[in-house]
A and B are shown apart, each in its own frame.
Chain A
Amino acid sequence: MEPVSFGTSDRQLLGIYYPPEGDAVRDAAVLVCGPGPQEYMRTHWALRKLAAQLARRGFPVMRFDYFGTGDSAGETVEGRPSLWVEDVSAAARELLDVSGAYAVSAVGLRLGASLAAMASSGGLELEDLVLWEPVVRGATYVDELRAIAARKYAEFLFPPDQSPGSGQLLGYPFPTEVEGETRAVDLTRTPPRARRRVVVALADERPEYIELRAKLEEEAGRGGAPVAWLHQAEEGADTIDGALLSNAVLSAIGTALEEA
């Protein structure tokens, strides 16, 4: 595990590179794209485990923090999806450079899946793209985060204002422009592209996934990448948190990348 610093001088990003272990030779390195700030802390452990497991399977792997999140440069208030899509491409270039691999695949979780998909439809060449519990519609995602906040803040003596104009959501600055950009995310309009395969990893079935499925299959029919669906429904994995504690999802993602 090696820390990697990359990006422009005013937008330095922190990555953690996991060199491949063992003798297996893999065609592509794997870039892990984490979720948005509100889901960042709860998913760190699962992404650390995923990265280490993929490295043990022989993949060069990198995790990184988007601009304005985690240990990367930038105030939290400055981070936004349009910049993070650029960060995904910058991280993919860095991973090619560090690993010496000829191609990059991406595994994105929640909003990270959407950002990787948006980067791919904007021209980033990905070998495989794994969408893990992707945010299909940004508007639904923001509404869900607000519902979580309402429930969480019911336990607070002095609940923070989390109305749309308040500029914050679940502990992080959330200015109107960032909310606008996040709500505009729509995977049914910007279908993900990959050279080999798009894999969708899900623990539960949501209405928006049915629509995504139809869209991805339509794209595949038009010569786009074939789509594989990984369903890891298991006890306790019916929520995003349950899924994160599940080893089955992590190992299914590793197997899918090996097969591809």
Chain B
Amino acid sequence: MRERAFTFGAHRNLFGVLAEPDPSDVATGAPAVLLANMGVNHRVGANRLWVNLARRLAREGFHSLRFDLSGLGDSLPRPGVHGDLDRAVLDLKDAMDFVQSKGGPATFAVIGLCSGADSAHAVAVADPRVSAVAYIDGFVWRTPGFWLRYWTTRKLEGARWRRYVRRRAARKRGGPKESGEAQEIYQREMPTPEQFRADLKGLLERGTAVLAAYTGGLMDYAYRDQIREMVGDLARHPLFATDYFPRADHLFTDIAEHEKLLGSVSRWMKGRGVQAAVRESA
């Protein structure tokens, strides 16, 4: 594989790294992967998640572009006035144009974590070149199943009691701490549950493969099948896949959980859903 850094985009304000598989490894007809910022972290990703994912996928035959959205990381602001989500969609379209201009694939898998899922979703809905989209700790709302567990089994989980003890001890101890979490800095623009289900239906009917993966670090997500309860019958669609990492925190800080996520995305990219989406868009 090889990696090259570029500035690109209609305004040449975007900065990213294109990873290309060795010509003999290229997965024929496979989409190129787009990885943008998770929150305000730059394109490398928290704990180097996007670099590790891009390199693993390149060894498996997939092109990828990891890049910074306008005004974040090393990318400069985009001229003109736009809402955050509209601007992100324009940036992602610029990224697709750029990959194609470099001789890369004409279809794309957009992978977003946390707020990155919001822009991944928005561009998937807006641009038919997106043949696969992955939301990691993306959209969530509390379902009846969530509340049932919240008031019953959740209170009995040993891990929660152990955390309670650790928190109290840490507060008592004081000492150095990191800066506030990113959610204090930015706000997310999430679709309503009805809007999300309608969008998802449209995407699946269009032939777009969807992965919804969640961690145990997301407060509003309580159990493996909560996503199935959230989206109802759509969960049975052959292009819809889910995964759950109950022991991971939101940013996959533990290196074993980090590896598990890389494996999960890699299996999804090589699996039937993404491959079927590739055939439909071909």
Contact = CB atoms under 8 A, between A and B. Distances in A.
Interface residues on B, range: 35 or more
Contact of A148 (B7, B76, B178, B252): B178
A44 B166 CA distance: 30
B117 interface: no
A209 interface: no
Interface stretch (B38-46, B87-95, B263-271): B38-46
B179 A153 contact: no
Given A14-B17, A70-B44, A157 B216 contact: yes
A98 interface: no
Interface in B131-177: 159-160, 163, 166-167, 169-171, 173, 175-177
Interface residues of A, number: 41
Contact of A156 (B6, B163, B176): B163
Interface stretch (A83-91, A110-118, A170-178, A181-189): A170-178
A158 B48 contact: no
A158 B255 contact: no
B15 A3 contact: yes
Contact of B167 (A42, A155, A168): A155
B262 interface: no
B128 interface: no
Interface string A124-154: 0000000000000000000010011011111
Contacts of A147: 175-176
Interface string B167-202: 101110101111100000000000000000000000
B170 A151 contact: yes
B167 A160 contact: no
B74 A172 contact: no
B127 interface: no
B44 A152 contact: no
23 contacts: A2-B7, A12-B3, A14-B17, A16-B15, A37-B48, A44-B42, A48-B73, A70-B44, A71-B5, A76-B48, A147-B176, A148-B176, A151-B175, A151-B178, A154-B169, A155-B167, A157-B159, A158-B216, A160-B254, A160-B257, A171-B46, A171-B253, A172-B47
Closest CB pairs A-B (n = 6): A3-B5, A154-B170, A171-B47, A160-B254, A241-B179, A154-B166
